[in-house]
Amino acid sequence: MADAGQLHDGGDFGLLSPAWAGTQVAALTGDQAFLQAMLDVELAWLRIQARVGLVPAALVEMVARAALAGNYDAASLAERAQQGGNPLIPLLADLRAAVAGESPEAAAAIHRGATSQDVVDTALMLMSQRAIDVIETDLRNAARALARMASEHRRTLMAARTLTQHSLPSTFGLKAAQWLAAVGESGEKLDDVTAALPLQWGGAAGTMAALTALADQQTAPADSCAAPADAQAAPADTRAALADKQERVDGGPLTWTSALAAELGLADPLAPWQTNRLPVTALGHALSDVLAAAGKIANDVLLLSRPEIAEVSEPLSTSRGVSSAMPQKQNPVLSVLIRSAALAAPGHLAQLQTAAGAAIDERPDGSWHVEWQALRQLLRLAGGAAAKLAELADGLRIHTAALGTNLLLGGELLLSERIMLQVAPLLDDGTAGAGRKRIQAMVSSALADGAPALIDLLRDAVPRDVLSDQDLAALLNPSGYLGQNDTLIDRIDRRYSKWAQA
């Protein structure tokens, strides 16, 4: 038997997390990806320093050669992170050591004016942004497939179910449109949150004191931002643009952090947010909504694909859905894994919310640290669910014959609401509610074993000169009691088709 040392490989491949294992988002949120995000943040900050003349521009390339995640031992960094409570501290030591031999000045310029939380929080936002690009692509693919499904099956009749029981006639197209509405709404919310993912850059206590000190020491703008020697000879609008660019970059800490946010593609926050964790909880909520939308679809597919219902089936695959013991089984694995991801999401979201509510002082003691894994897990779960949802929606098989057969199981009882609305008034005898009571009695009788069908009870109760056979047949036609089916499908499609095509 192998000992713990032999079993340790320093990585989490998702062996116990098949909902996200092997996905693009899993790779984009792994330790190597987060390590690269931290290095990218440090390098971007060095570029800004060079741009404003705090360091020579040549130093940036020296550090860029060292700022590659593959140059560092992630397992060693994780172990040494215990000494300072976060992974950036040992990474900085290794990064500085990697460039010190070539340029002590470059080593000294790394991380100047920043603090660990600046880089860790910003790297988390950067990593999230990169992962969400993939999640949104999968969500849009799923939405397009659901829109096609809604259009193709807008008149495919089925029994709607409420509280597990047949309730009214509906269409599979409307069910697919409702799936689309949830996916589209969650996707739009995720878009909005992603566009607002902010830079965090406040220094040791969020006061930007070190950045202000650097600004006080600054004596000259960076070469890359200096006006050319013949700037005065340039047209007035060009001179104005050059002056505006230099003012925006050289204007001090707030303009520097704005430039850094732009460099990283993140939002420029009003102020440092090191103890205001709402950017993190907002992202967590958006990811959880994605998982809730995907989970609802998976739940429906799991129910409808049971052999005794058999209204839908997952896409066929020779390598998926097999059983280790029962060769006849085709398990709906895509839906099972999506459902598992949706069930896991609330715990991680609660952890983010708890951490945000427990944040204290100018850097939370422990509540900040507990966010990291919870956020990463939500990203991974949403990434896994979105990828599987795209495949499920694109290949879902709808069995129209089974939908029709199941629709007829309850006979005319499925139209009992319509009957109550339209026939009960015909049976009133002047006593309040008499017609409704008679219809309810007929329905109750029809539910009993061996009792006459509801249509026969109605035919006996209502004279033909009041309700003809033709009118009764039309009344009991499920396709005639679909409400605003087409309009609702069209409204949902119009609302989210542009988003799905983006």
Active site residues: 323, 363
Is the CB of residue 367 less than 8 Å from the CB of residue 85? no
Fill in the amino acid letter for 19.
A
Q: Which helix (H) or strand (E) holds 157?
A: strand 157-162
H helix intervals, 115-171? 116-152
CA-nearest of 198, 190, 189 to 262 is 198
Q: Which residues contact 364 (CB under 8 A, 6 or more apart)?
A: 275, 277, 355, 358
**Element (DSSP H or E) covering residue 107:** helix 104-109
Structure tokens at 69: 């995640």
Name the residue type at position 43: L
Phi, psi of 331 (to 5 degrees): -70, 140
CA distance 161 to 174: 13
- Residue 412 Cα distances to 405, 415, 456, angstroms: 13, 5, 10
Which amino acid, one-letter code, is at 390? A
Q: Find out whether 426 and 435 touch, Cβ atoms under 8 Å.
A: yes
Spell out the residues 6+ positions from residue 98 whose beta carbon is closer than 8 angstroms to its own: 66, 71
Residue with tokens 């895509």: 334
Distance CA 17, CA 381 (A): 9
The tokens for 490 are: 């069209």
Collapsing DSSP states into helix, strand and coil, what is residue 165? strand
Instruction: Please state the length of the chain.
Output: 502
Q: Which amino acid is at 334?
A: L
Strands of 281-348, DSSP E: 312-313
Please, how many CA atoms are within 13 Å of residue 90, restricted to the half-sphere of its CB?
17
Q: Is the dihedral of CA 334, 156, 410, 439 positive or negative?
A: positive
Report the alpha-carbon angle 474-475-479, nearest 5. Answer: 70
